[in-house]
Amino acid sequence: MTTFACGHCGAALAFEGVRTEICPYCASPNFVERPTSSQPDPDFVVPFARDSELARRSLDRWLGSRTLFADPALRAAKVEDLRAIYVPAYLYSAVANTEYTAQIGENYTETETYRVKDAGGKSRTETRTVTRTEYRPLAGRHLQYVTDVIVSASVGLPNRELSRALPFDLKQMHRFSPALISGWMTEEFSRAADECRSASRSAALDQVGQRLRRFMPGDSFSDLAWNTRVSWESLDPILVPVWVFVVTYRDDKQPLRIVINGQTGKVTGKVPLSPWKIAIGIAVVLAIVAATIYLLAGRT
Ligand SMILES: [Zn+2]
């Protein structure tokens, strides 16, 4: 395998038998051969599903559903510029031991009486049903096994972009062997394990918070506070399959990057919109509204 490094985004990719002179992440031509660094082998690989056809069809469909207001330069982009990359990531799991407190609200109804005055100025008593909430304190302990947290160890594809392409079906994961990745581009592990561990931990704590909120009894709750201790942490280096589509559609604009999950075909990215197309779209809608009002007014 030969390693190439991008002078623009910093990604280092190893591959053989794949042809490219530009960086697959940022389309920079400043993509040069460099000596291969000694890299730890990943523990597991989530393999690519089938071939590039799946990615191509997903991308075509996705672009098709967004071209009405898309920048016209984008439609000239070639889907052949799709690149398959095994992206380095860490798979994290842990036991989360949480102590929490909250105020739990229970609703009840009450009948109350009130005085009204009728038209003649005479006052009388009426009744109505009102809903009230009673709060009681709740404290407890919650034990949760957090699994399948994936964070990017790539400099080419930051975690915020990889996380949009999640999830992967980890039941399809294989133990790493060099044969699994031969013929594919593979990025080197370029973020420190410690950095990825703390990113994983905060993703795990988010999961704990979501679970706690779902799990609260009563009709409503307030003042939920919790404190989590994690133990039995594991952090495994893995490779995940991603298709990247980078297109420079205007010289004065940042290239557009669309990321496709190489297992499920899920497409993520933002299509640049054309300001004048949006303006025409709004003008057409306003014209239809005006015409409708005119017609309705003419009928009465
Ligand atoms: Zn690059």
Residue 35: pLDDT over 90:
no
- The reported pLDDT for the residue numbered 117 is 86
Q: Is residue 150 within 8 Å of residue 204, measured between CB atoms? A: no
Residue 300: pLDDT over 60:
no
Residue 107: pLDDT over 80:
yes
- Distance from Cα 248 to the centre of ligand 1, integer Å: 13
Burial letters 125-138, b for 16+ CB under 10 A, else e: eeeeeeeeeeeeee
Any idea which of 12-21, 66-75, 93-102, 257-266 has the lowest mean pLDDT?
A: 66-75
- Domains in the chain: boundaries: 2-99+144-214+228-269, 270-300
pLDDT tens digits for range 201-253: 999 999 999 999 998 999 999 999 999 999 999 999 999 999 998 877 777 77
- Distance from Cα 25 to the centre of ligand 1, integer Å: 5
- Distance from Cα 157 to the centre of ligand 1, integer Å: 10
Q: Rounded CA gap, 243 and 268, in Å? A: 11
- Distance from Cα 257 to the centre of ligand 1, integer Å: 11
- Distance from Cα 261 to the centre of ligand 1, integer Å: 19
Q: What is the pTM of this model?
A: 0.77
- Closest C-alpha to 256, from 76, 20, 110: 76
- The reported pLDDT for the residue numbered 246 is 85
- Distance from Cα 81 to the centre of ligand 1, integer Å: 14
